[in-house]
């Protein structure tokens, strides 16, 4: 039988996801009021547009909190990025100040959510990355067409030195296919920097509870899913010369939203 302190810790982890859902829900009324006041009535009529606006408003706060809490373990990872970088789903740019400006030559931030672009561009300026960081306003599946349209000479299949995915593979459509697409952009010797939450390795009650939470999670957290087998999909994307992935040491087995972090080298 677990001690009282451990039982309390388990309970805290069990209710943690629902605390986050309630926090997200608190931003919905403000989003609706803002859209009404700005006469963006069409957004209110389309659930996906409303969800996008809602998530952008929520993530402007939640993303900042996440950055404060996770920077000690994520910053060393991001600083491994070098050369031409493909930054997937940067959102409002919470991690831009972590890039080592001496090591990167060009960063392409693939962010299809236009509601995040204003804040993202502000943070590009704050991070001193103007002229280096380029916002790519499409999904990964449309990057090639965007490159052709814009005439970007540094971005293309087999030309990228570093791919960065931080808290984004959980919400992209068709993640397995997208991971395969991104693998194709990496050059030989290129690295993929990862920090994502993934499906639990535990079986039984923990796995069933996580699956239950995931019935609600995507609707409150911008389409994100917490049950994706991202580690397996990454490993199966292609041939890797080195895989260095691990779960953060401070996460217990009953962590409801476990993470994986590290790098893969092509």
CATH number, domain at 189? 3.40.50.150
**150 falls within a domain:** yes
The answer to whether position 7 is within a domain reads no
Is 106 within a domain?
yes
pLDDT at 15: 86
For residue 2, the model assigns a pLDDT of: 59
Q: What is the pLDDT of residue 19?
A: 93
The answer to the question of residue 133 being in a domain is yes
pLDDT for position 1: 53
What confidence score (pLDDT) does residue 47 get?
87
Domain span holding position 153 = 71-265
How many structural domains compose the chain?
1
Q: What confidence tens digit (pLDDT) does each residue in 173-222 have?
A: 889 999 999 999 999 999 999 999 999 988 888 899 999 999 999 999 98
**99 found inside a domain:** yes
Instruction: For residue 234, count CB atoms less than 10 angstroms from its CB and return exposed for 0-12, middle for 13-18, buried for 19 or more.
Output: buried
- Residue 101 Cα to chain centre, angstroms: 21
Position 252 in a domain: yes
Q: Is residue 177 part of a domain?
A: yes
pLDDT in tens, 233-257: 999 999 999 999 999 888 888 888 8
Structural domain contains residue 110: yes
Q: Pick out the chain residues at pLDDT < 50.
A: none
């Amino acid at each position: 039988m677990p001690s009282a302190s451990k039982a309390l810790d388990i309970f805290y982890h069990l209710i943690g996801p629902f605390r986050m859902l309630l926090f997200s829900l608190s931003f919905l009324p403000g989003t609706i009021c803002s859209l009404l006041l700005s006469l963006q009535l069409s957004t209110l009529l389309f659930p996906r547009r409303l969800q996008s606006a809602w998530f952008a408003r929520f993530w402007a706060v939640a993303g900042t909190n996440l950055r404060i809490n996770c920077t000690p373990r994520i910053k060393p990872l991001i600083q491994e990025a070098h050369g031409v970088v493909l930054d997937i789903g940067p959102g409002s740019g919470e991690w831009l100040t972590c890039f080592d400006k001496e090591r990167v030559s060009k960063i392409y931030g693939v962010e299809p959510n236009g509601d995040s672009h204003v804040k993202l561009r502000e943070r590009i300026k704050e991070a001193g990355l103007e002229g280096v960081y380029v916002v790519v306003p499409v999904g990964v599946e449309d990057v090639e067409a965007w490159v052709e349209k814009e005439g970007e000479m540094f971005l293309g299949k087999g030309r990228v030195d570093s791919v960065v995915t931080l808290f984004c593979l959980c919400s992209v459509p068709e993640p397995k296919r997208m991971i395969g697409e991104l693998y194709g952009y990496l050059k030989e010797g290129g690295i993929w920097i990862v920090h994502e939450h993934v499906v639990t390795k535990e079986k039984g009650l923990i796995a069933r509870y996580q699956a239950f939470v995931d019935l609600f999670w995507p609707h409150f957290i911008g389409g994100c899913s917490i049950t994706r087998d991202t580690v397996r999909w990454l490993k199966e994307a292609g041939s890797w010369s080195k895989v260095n992935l691990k779960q953060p040491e401070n996460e217990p087995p009953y962590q409801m939203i476990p993470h994986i972090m590290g790098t893969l080298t092509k």
